[in-house]
Structure 1
């Protein structure tokens, strides 16, 4: 199953959308989401209001789009292929943490700006589309697992990554085993 939600966009369109996404991320670092205007975003991104509205209806759409791009990149690096045994494999968990570490600034900014729900919605959507079809258990278990990994990742980032990624992976694996959370 291939995830290409924006396959009809050109590289120029992608670049423009990334500029808008980066602009809102930068604005969120110094201001409240509710007080950021489309005018603020387009000025920071160096695009027109018409360009903004070509791609988006709201500020939330920008964040959702950027998060979907991150998920699409993750799927590309994994080959869009998941089996449950691989999904909880130590090397897969480590690769996922390292991949999302590249976007830590965005993810932490969204969390700090009380836009955490957009990250969770994107992960839940990912679980439903790409993991659940291969899974024999409850969707609640998948949501629990995704939320636990997300919260562990965000806390690790917030605390300055004082543990190595291998230590975090070992903690996750030990929690899975200790709580009998194997999703196989």
Structure 2
């Protein structure tokens, strides 16, 4: 097999494994999915699975890491500035990439076992807000700032969860704008 065909085959196999995992998390907890479940769903053999992943945890870790990388890339474009004054551009950017693969993210966020992944996303938002260069250092060094940052980050993650469950009759862009308004108004009181 030539290199190009081998490369395409590897990409195809990883894609099948990822899709099978995403289908399976609709049906069972992450920690109950087995390699056998994945290879049956993906219609591949065990050897193909093990050529790409050590175990099921490696699949879930890779998926989580890809999402985290996308989130960091999106946030990085804004250079840690002006989040509290105008979070809308960042939240709309996040909304846009969530829309690109809506069904996958909906499944991921609503699945049993997603708590650890969602906590990682919250931590990213907390870190981003803590490094906002427009917030004076004397404010950043207070316990109140840390509480507020965690409150905002938790609220952002929670609102996206609620939206993906279908409990809000807003578009994702309208949700981002409303959450932005809440953060902007609240930050005026805090800073």
**TM above 0.5, one fold?**
yes
Which whole-Å CA distance do the structure 2 matches of 1:83 and 1:123 have between them?
A: 16
Aligned equivalents of 2:147, 2:65: Cα separation in 1: 22
Within 5 Å, which residues of 2 pair with 1:62-81? 62-76=59-73
Matches within 5 A, 1:145-156: 145-156=152-163
Q: CA deviation at 1:79?
A: 5.9
1:20: Cα distance to partner? 1.4
User: In 2, Cα distance between the equivalents of 1:175 and 1:127?
Assistant: 16
Match of 2:179 among 162, 172, 178: 172
CA-based RMSD: 3.5
**Mapping of 1:125-144 within 5 angstroms?**
126-127=124-125, 132=130, 137=140, 141-144=148-151
Give the TM-score, by structure 1 length. 0.70
3-state SS in 1 of match to 2:82: helix
Equivalent residue number for residue 16 of structure 2: 19
**Which residue does the alignment assign to 2:43?**
46
Residue 160 (structure 1) shift: 6.8
Name the structure 2 match of 1:82. 79
Preserved CA contact (<8 Å) 2:110 2:165:
no
Normalised by the length of structure 2, the TM-score is 0.68
Task: Give the unaligned 5+ runs of structure 1.
Answer: 1-9
Q: Who is 2:117 aligned against? A: 119
